[in-house]
Structure 1
Amino acid sequence: MFRVRAQGNPKPNVFGRENGMPIKDSAKIFYNSVNKEHVLKLESLTSDDSDNYKCIASNDHADAIYTVSLLVTEGQEKLDFKKMLKKNGPPAPKKKQKKVTDKLLKFLGEMKPVKVTECHTAVFEIRLSRKVPDFVWKFSGKELKRDEKDEITASEDGLTHTYKIQDARFSDSGIPIKFVSTLKNVRVKERSCACLECELTSKDVTLYRKNGQLLARSSKYSMNHEGKRAGLFTKDAQLTDGGRVKGAEREASVFIADPPKVHRSVLEALAAHPVTVRVGHTANIKVPFRAKPMPKVTWYKEGREMTEEERVSMKRGDHQALLTISKCVREDSGLILLGLKNDHGSTTATLHLSVLDGGAPGLHYIVEQRKKGSNLWVPVNKDPIQGTKYTVDDVLEDTEYELRVVAANKSGPGHPSTPGLVQGLHMSDSSNTSISLAWREPAEADPPSGYLLEMQAEDTMERSKCTEIPVSGTCYTVGGLTERQQYFFRILVVNEAAVGEAVELDEGGSPPPIVIWLKDGIPTKGREIITKSKNHSQFLINSTKCSDSGVYHTELQNVSGEVYHDFHVCVAAPDLQEGGEVHYTIMERDASTATWLKAVDRVFSNKYTVTDSLLGRKYYFRVLAQNAAVTPTLKPYQQKDWRHVLRGQDCTVTRAFLGNPRPTVTLYKGHVNITANSRFWYISTSSVCTIVIPTCTLKDSGEYCVLVENKLGKDFSSCKLTVYYKDDKSVLASVTESLQKKSKYLM
């Protein structure tokens, strides 16, 4: 029986050999967990069992071998030690049945992981308890041999063994680094950031290679290593940045994805120019696109998905989708839609296919009629009509009919001569009692001679004509409607041959809102003029007074909800210099122009008759009060704290000024003149200058200054603007505190 203990990291595998061959089946090899020993037990020994026995312990780093010799002798009887003791004498010396020539072999210490910089030398060293003749080094289960790269040496006593890796490379790294979470393939959109991350058992710096090339830190690539987590980031990823990336002996793929996209110019061309082919010809529809990975291509006709059949084929290239329809017929005409979709997005392209008749001219004609509201067309003539005129008899009084004409030649009858369909029917404007509709002419067929416009109220089953005769233009206003009533409209094209199919419009899902105007929380006094159109409401006071200053509130309401907005208005009166000579200037404007002209200057009374006006013309007048020359000044007035503005809102600053001659106004932000800057809206009329900062951003924060000057002097007023986020609690607290103190600011 032989016993041996084996240690190592990872735990070694232990097996035995007899003279280089596997031990015979009659032997037993087992592990004694109590004494932590591997045991070899040989039973019924014979002289043939005399041999050298080896115990080999092996893991991924190396093999350890323990050798023992067994000598079995024959012809000797077993000694009875009890009988010998009774004779009080030592037994005669006998030859040993087995002899162990070697002591226990073990590693004196552990072989630890080695960290080296690439291109340097890595050294592994281990010491044994006794000398062995066949010590070997292994890497990943393969025996290492001495060569130019690997140096294997042993000490003079044969106990210390050394393995050196010259010019160590990244591929030489082995077991010391293990993955907790490995690299995974990533897909990102073009121009976004691609991130490869993993978690290791080691804190060693990880090197990355892309398609075999070592990656270095740059404006394109950044490497992050925090603790045991490592990451590679590719900024502004382009399609060329995709590929295989290797880090810590593991690989992953970076796929730069591009959602499907059809260029705007292609979409505009498809919408503006229908694909037109003749009956019997082939229609080839090509739509270029850009996408990665390649998208799924789906074609639709009039909302239904198309499938490949005898006349229809679909192909997808690297950069275009192709739809081919052979032997086209009139029924192939219609709206064609291309759908493109991949994992990162989708898009569509729309076009119109028009299949026109061709071939020989018509030999005769067939006239068909149907009652209005019916879908059944009935031929009127029994015999072919040779001319281009025909009278229809047998019609009922007070009954409306629709007629159409079909041309026929030797190949048979063609398609009915129905007019095309109007395009883009929509509501252009509305009021409480009227709706304005607009549309475009049909894209094909003969030019229309007019349009029939019909409507139907929601609570009725009958349609009525909006006009007695067809509408000649492409717009019409329907009046006399009931407020908050839903209506359905449809329009039909009329030409010399027939009446076309109807195009319907449903208007009434979003009723026009009710507009309410308030001044300082109460209804206005009636001096204003309020007008309303589809997209705006206007509040106009022709001649303002100081009493018109205040907060104007407008509120829009309908069944879907309500919104509101506040306007701060300040009307500044001229501050006449004490003792100055007051006079007036009268300005006039013809209603047909926007230019104000001076009618008379220096009027010293408060009445004046304007002459030289043309009979039948409409005029507007305004009066300006003036006095002698005054040094320009800016007049302060109380106003809510405008200095703190929420990001994304507009900021309006108004200043009243005096001066004669009229002073010039210059605006500054800091020391920069912004009077002509298109970022700011500025207007100066009637001794009041107004500056508007639309959609304020954080960059608009700063000190603003208004400077007025004439030949007699100058004056200025300034204030600091702070643009803040809605979640900025410190600024909100500051605004609240300033309002509570009722501070006054110069505007």
Structure 2
Amino acid sequence: MATYWVRVIATNYGGDGEPQGFDNYIIAMPPPGLSPARNYLAKRWFPVPKHVTITNSDKGSQLWIPTSDRPDSGIYTITVKNIVGQASFNVEIRVTDDPKPPGPVELDQNIPGTVTLSWTPSPDEKRDDRLHYMVAKKDSFKCSWRTVADNLFNNKCTVVNILSGREYHFRVFAKNDIGPSPPSESPVFGTIKEKGKFKVDMPERKSLDFQSPPSFIVPLKKRTTPQGYECYMSCAVKGDPAPRVTWYRNDMSLNTNTNYHITNVCGVCSLLILRVGPKDNGEYKVVIENKLGTAECSMMLNSEEELQLLDRS
């Protein structure tokens, strides 16, 4: 009875790789003959290529590919026989290399909030049926790369959740059984966020003119004053600018006459005669004026036994 262990060693110009052993082994009695053969699926009858070396010994069998290339990939079958029967074991060998990066990346935005990436295929795409693509994204807000799509077997990808006002960077990797390729960088993609200007619609200002010509709010009123008593006369005026007030008796100005006490407080104009006598009889008149006009009102004062105050306003 004989026991056989099988292992596979990958080798190239750089040397041999680590041997790959198998958990199961072959037991036969009497010791079988070993006959490794290459299985090309539909071409099972093809022999092992000439550059492949097979070494058989009492302890095992070795298949050595000194310079491996992608065409050497496939399923290899080792068959052992003796007079009792035969047994077979399959080994899949894939020969690959670091993937080459895809070509230039182009960006297109047809729908707001999305961007579509397209790129030229990697040169290894036709030679490696397991080659696929991965897309990573980085924006100006987070500043860290994040995978947005993986296991892509085409050359186009649409990325969603694209926000306005941010800049985006994209990377496309080609990946196979060994790992990812160097990335192909996309142009910087950014959308400008239009900020509306803060605007307050103010009502149109209307220039208001508060100026007004002088007028009397309360005119002079009749007064009855016996001789020897005081007499108080008053009126209320308005106007803008504030009008100038002048008191007259018989058309003679009284503003500078010290015998009469004249005041003008907040538009209330008054004249006080401390002791009325015959000499105070006559017509009293108030004239108010500003740049917009003039107004006047008058009354008669008679200090006889029955005084009559006549309002001629």
Bigger radius of gyration: 2
Same fold at TM > 0.5 = no
More helix by share: 1
